[in-house]
């Protein structure tokens, strides 16, 4: 097994710093799945969708160099379990750097080596190297690292402005633990929370919906019919506060009374966060 990648350019370096920071804020331990054309971050363990979980893919276009050899020609992947904060801390050291290199190494034990090339104001180059301990996962558990295969969502809608949404959810989190998320296929979305002493509702309209064919929603679905899911407010707020990328596309998918999925896409990065219904 071999893996080596290099990131250069301010934009790509900042993107990787933001991705690793997002993963660290949403998971203590993660699985780094190295594929021929991408790096995929996923949750450790086999908890399924019984708890909030994050999957994130960084495609090959974000790297100047990307080379890997998997377990075999038929199983051309590598699965590494590591502490997410360790990778985030190493990536943050690349702020202002000229390059960041990732390499699978063996230094008494398997490591993901992160080498950062820095240039001082005087033009002197220096390297900072982080050897992050990893556990190489056996093939028997690879299936647990894959994103879930789901039927088409009952509703898919574009999210409102991020700051607005985060502010509303933050205020609701101070009132109660559960938030009801409703949406339809006509661009309407509602967030609500009710307790014995207070009831709060926030309404959005004209948010837009992706083409039904793009998300697999049946063509005969009633556009005005609202679907809903009640989720843990703290998990939703954790994601809204924790994600650090600046998406060009942000979607909310709802499976009625079952599951909430938030999808963010920015150039070579796609991120999915699943929150199960209460």
The Cβ of residue 100 has, within 10 Å, a number of other Cβ atoms equal to 23
Per-residue pLDDT tens digits of the chain, which is 278 residues long = 999 999 999 999 999 999 999 999 999 999 999 999 999 999 987 667 888 999 999 999 999 999 999 988 888 999 999 999 999 999 999 998 999 999 999 989 999 999 999 987 677 888 999 999 999 999 988 888 888 888 889 999 999 999 999 999 999 999 989 999 999 999 999 999 998 888 999 999 999 998 875 666 667 778 899 999 999 999 999 999 988 888 999 999 999 999 999 999 998 999 999 999 99
Distances (CA, A) of 56 to 62, 80, 151, 222, 270: 13, 15, 20, 32, 6
Distance linking the first and last C-alpha atoms of the chain:
42
What does the DSSP 8-state code read for residue 267?
A: T
Residue 110 contacts residue 136 (beta carbons within 8 Å)? yes
| CA-derived radius of gyration, the chain | 20
Q: What CATH number should be reported for the domain whose range is 155-276?
A: 3.70.10.10
Please tell me the chain's helix, strand, coil percentages from 3-state DSSP, rounded to the nearest 5.
Answer: 20, 40, 35
Overall fold of domain 2-145: Proliferating Cell Nuclear Antigen (3.70.10)
CA angle (65 as vertex; 85, 108 as ends), nearest 5: 50
Distance between CA atoms of 42 and 56, rounded to whole angstroms?
7
**For position 50, what pLDDT does the model report?**
83
Distance between CA atoms of 4 and 63, rounded to whole angstroms?
10
Distances (CA, A) of 228 to 215, 252, 265: 17, 11, 23
Sequence ranges of the domains in the chain: 2-145, 155-276
Backbone angles phi, psi at 76, to 5 degrees: -85, 65
Distance between CA atoms of 93 and 72, rounded to whole angstroms?
34
Do the domains 2-145 and 155-276 sit in the same CATH topology, yes or no?
A: yes
Residue 61 contacts residue 267 (beta carbons within 8 Å)? yes
Distance between CA atoms of 167 and 173, rounded to whole angstroms?
10
The Cβ of residue 235 has, within 10 Å, a number of other Cβ atoms equal to 20
Tell me which residue of 133, 103, 135 sits closest to 116, measured CA to CA. 103
Helix (H, G, I), strand (E, B) or coil at 164: helix
């Amino acid at each position: 097994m071999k893996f080596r990648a290099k990131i250069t350019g301010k934009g790509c370096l900042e993107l990787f710093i933001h991705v690793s920071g997002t993963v660290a804020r949403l998971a203590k331990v993660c699985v780094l799945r190295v594929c021929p054309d991408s790096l995929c971050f996923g949750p450790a363990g086999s908890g399924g969708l019984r708890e909030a979980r994050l999957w994130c893919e960084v495609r090959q276009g974000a790297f100047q160099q990307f080379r890997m050899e998997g377990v075999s020609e038929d199983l051309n992947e590598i699965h590494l379990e590591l502490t997410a904060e360790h990778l985030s801390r190493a990536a943050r050291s690349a702020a202002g750097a000229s390059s960041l290199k990732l390499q699978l190494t063996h230094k008494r034990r398997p490591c993901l080596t992160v080498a950062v090339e820095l240039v001082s104001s005087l033009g002197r180059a220096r390297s900072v190297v982080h050897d992050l301990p990893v556990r190489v996962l056996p093939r028997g558990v690879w299936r647990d690292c894959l994103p879930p295969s789901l039927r088409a969502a009952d509703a898919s809608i574009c999210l409102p402005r991020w700051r607005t949404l985060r502010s509303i959810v933050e205020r609701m989190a101070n009132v109660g633990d559960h938030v009801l998320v409703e949406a339809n296929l006509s661009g309407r979305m509602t967030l609500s929370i009710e307790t014995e002493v207070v009831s709060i509702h926030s309404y959005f309209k004209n948010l837009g919906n992706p083409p039904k064919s793009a998300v697999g929603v049946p063509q005969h679905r009633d556009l005005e019919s609202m679907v809903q899911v009640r989720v843990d407010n703290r998990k939703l707020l954790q994601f809204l506060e924790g994600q650090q990328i600046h998406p060009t596309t942000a979607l909310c998918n709802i499976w009625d009374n079952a599951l909430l999925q938030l999808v963010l896409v920015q150039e070579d990065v796609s991120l999915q966060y699943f929150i199960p219904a209460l």
